[in-house]
Chain A
């Protein structure tokens, strides 16, 4: 009755599983909002709620492509370091006199390159799984950021740059608006295109999909490069939020992003998961943290609650599978 079993028999319970899973997430989401509103007089307020999203959405940009990676059955733990490296490069270039928009472009390119290197290493050395490659590059990328900036902070960005992390468009935070668009694009990409179907195919059975003509290596490089790129986008937002940067920023972002994806119903054994689940879980984790913060629960208890939420929700989903099975 372990994960192995599910892998082989998942075909017939797939539909019911997803149906229940996303409803469950929605239920949790609603519950959390009700509880938060009940416990804190400051919570249920459009302005507060919109503001709250600014706090956690930077990581969400990483979670979207991370879902693709995890559907493959791979993982990318170098994203936190990629955030730091791309941010540091941008700041250094800007302070060296490069125009801001070019520096931002450089930031995105660095992310792209970091992701590309991960992808190439992973497909060229299949014996090494993604976790090993990205574990090494995690240390390496962070190390390069340290070499570049040493113990300095760099900042002094132009005023308009702070708009990314702090600005509003017609009362809606810019980051929320952009995230909504990006999330739609990713959902479309995964569920409505051949690209998305190939992602699932590879996640279900890489060897079989290779025989049926899917260019597995190319797909993997594309997805890891995309992850690097989106990580750099997150880096832009985080840097804008902090107004300056250091080589030690965004530590632990990888685990936060992975937790969001996994809670969203994407399985690390590959092949299953949907975007809507990921998006819901991003807001669940974010608003739960925010709500607990509003009632000033100590961070230790928040740690425990998030940990239990992760386990309990995944456990419920696997119980559902079993119930489905026993009915068959």
Chain B
């Protein structure tokens, strides 16, 4: 049985690779097309902007990938992001001397707490993730409204050291990009090379056999949602610092972008599959779309349709590629 399993993993790995290559090819073609339409696309400045603007999306996507691998979903992240961002911004407003590190820590902790609550609901009370997070989305959003009292925290109320979190750079690389890179390195190692990381896949591919083989499924689920929450909290601080404004409706509906990045990146909603490298290309595609659609000078009324069409195309192409390789490998994976 163990032999069989490793074989499947191997094959699935190669399928993933082909899929990723297909997606990368798609991105290259798209980039060439955009470059022909607007030469300022492939300039250092624009690429820097593109990656900076995508950094927060990429952070959230790592967390969401792990959630989806365990067959879950988290719809509450937009609300959690707003809540942690708002509380952090309000703290910064009343304590301008607060060190940026403490601000980041505060936001991450708030997100972590939100994640722990959701993790508890999912792991311990057997509420399905979509319901638990849908409900908590309302609760967190409502709390943000109430805590802020309808007021925003504006740029002039934030200390410059706080705003510097998102605008500053080390060796010419923006902090946001650095944070994203470090996070990806950590989670690449965590998911692929630690026991806990492998457990996440085991829980996702077959919860029952995972349980039988001695994995604490509940604890793994709890951990995954807590990590998602912490990353969301961190993103909340970065978001507020980047845009120098905290609103109670910050990032409303942003969870859909994150889920889209994951599914385009090859993370399967059925659980058990998804890799950091694939995810990166998914995030990249979404980042390019957000950056390039305004550059292409297409009518604003066409932007939604183009974005939806490209996402649909990307996932269908990905599915076809996988199907082809599946056939070659003679693995009939039903459903």
Identify the interface centre among B128, B136, B138, B302: most chain A CB within 10 Å of its CB: B138
Q: Chain B interface mostly helix, strand, loop or mixed? A: helix
Q: Which residues of B contact A147 (CB under 8 A)?
A: 301-302, 305
Q: Which B residues from 203 to 235 make CB contacts under 8 A with A?
A: 207-208, 211, 217-218, 221
B145–A207 touching, CB < 8 Å: no
Selected contact of A258 from candidates B134, B136, B263, B311, CB within 8 Å: B134
B323–A150 touching, CB < 8 Å: no
A307→B139 CA distance, assembly (Å): 6
B308–A128 touching, CB < 8 Å: no
A139–B128 touching, CB < 8 Å: no
Q: Considering only CB atoms and an 8 Å cut-off, how many residues of chain A contact the other chain?
A: 58
B315–A262 touching, CB < 8 Å: no
Nearest CB on A from B271, distance (A) = 10
B132 touches A (CB below 8 Å): yes
Selected contact of A132 from candidates B75, B123, B315, CB within 8 Å: B315
A143–B305 touching, CB < 8 Å: yes
B141–A139 touching, CB < 8 Å: no
Q: Which B residues from 259 to 313 make CB contacts under 8 A with A?
A: 259-260, 263, 268-270, 299, 301-309, 311-312
Closest chain B residue to A151, Cβ basis? B301
A146–B135 touching, CB < 8 Å: no
B304–A255 touching, CB < 8 Å: no
Closest chain A residue to B260, Cβ basis? A135
A140 touches B (CB below 8 Å): yes
Q: Which residues of B contact A4 (CB under 8 A)?
A: 207-208, 211, 217
Closest chain A residue to B303, Cβ basis? A143
A15 touches B (CB below 8 Å): no
Q: Which A residues from 291 to 317 make CB contacts under 8 A with B?
A: 298, 300-304, 306-311, 314-315
Selected contact of A138 from candidates B302, B308, B323, CB within 8 Å: B308
A300–B142 touching, CB < 8 Å: yes
Closest chain A residue to B140, Cβ basis? A307
Identify the interface centre among A8, A125, A301: most chain B CB within 10 Å of its CB: A125
Q: Which residues of B contact A193 (CB under 8 A)?
A: none
B135–A135 touching, CB < 8 Å: no
Contact with A along B126-157 (1 / 0, CB 8 A): 11101110111111011101100000000000
A321→B127 CA distance, assembly (Å): 12
A307–B304 touching, CB < 8 Å: no
A3 touches B (CB below 8 Å): yes
A230 touches B (CB below 8 Å): no
A314–B142 touching, CB < 8 Å: no
Selected contact of B335 from candidates A136, A150, A206, A319, CB within 8 Å: A206
Closest chain A residue to B267, Cβ basis? A132
A313→B308 CA distance, assembly (Å): 35
Q: Which residues of A contact B138 (CB under 8 A)?
A: 303-304, 306-307, 310
B126–A126 touching, CB < 8 Å: no
B175 touches A (CB below 8 Å): no
Q: Which residues of B contact A269 (CB under 8 A)?
A: 128
A95 touches B (CB below 8 Å): no
A203→B121 CA distance, assembly (Å): 24
A311–B136 touching, CB < 8 Å: yes
B45 touches A (CB below 8 Å): no
A259→B137 CA distance, assembly (Å): 12
Q: Which residues of B contact A307 (CB under 8 A)?
A: 134-139, 142
A136–B312 touching, CB < 8 Å: yes
Selected contact of A129 from candidates B127, B269, B316, CB within 8 Å: B269
B134–A127 touching, CB < 8 Å: no
Q: Which residues of B contact A298 (CB under 8 A)?
A: 145
Known: A128-B315, A268-B130, A300-B142. A315 touches B270 (CB 8 A): no
Q: Which residues of B contact A136 (CB under 8 A)?
A: 260, 308, 311-312, 315
Selected contact of B305 from candidates A6, A128, A146, A321, CB within 8 Å: A146
B305–A311 touching, CB < 8 Å: no
A135–B307 touching, CB < 8 Å: no
Q: Which residues of A contact B308 (CB under 8 A)?
A: 136-143
A310–B260 touching, CB < 8 Å: no
Closest chain B residue to A306, Cβ basis? B138
B269–A255 touching, CB < 8 Å: no
Q: Which residues of A contact B73 (CB under 8 A)?
A: 131
B interface residues (Cβ-Cβ under 8 A, vs A): 73, 75, 121-128, 130-132, 134-139, 141-143, 145-146, 207-208, 211, 217-218, 221, 256, 259-260, 263, 268-270, 299, 301-309, 311-312, 315-316, 319, 322-323, 334-335
Interface pairs (30), CB distance under 8 Å: A1-B124, A2-B122, A126-B335, A128-B319, A131-B259, A136-B308, A139-B305, A139-B307, A139-B308, A140-B304, A143-B302, A143-B303, A143-B305, A146-B301, A151-B301, A207-B334, A247-B301, A258-B130, A262-B128, A262-B134, A303-B138, A303-B141, A307-B137, A307-B139, A310-B131, A310-B138, A314-B127, A314-B131, A314-B132, A314-B135
In addition to A4-B208, A268-B131, A314-B132, 11 A-B residue pairs with Cβ atoms within 8 Å of each other are A2-B221, A3-B128, A4-B207, A125-B315, A126-B335, A136-B311, A140-B309, A146-B302, A207-B334, A303-B142, A307-B139
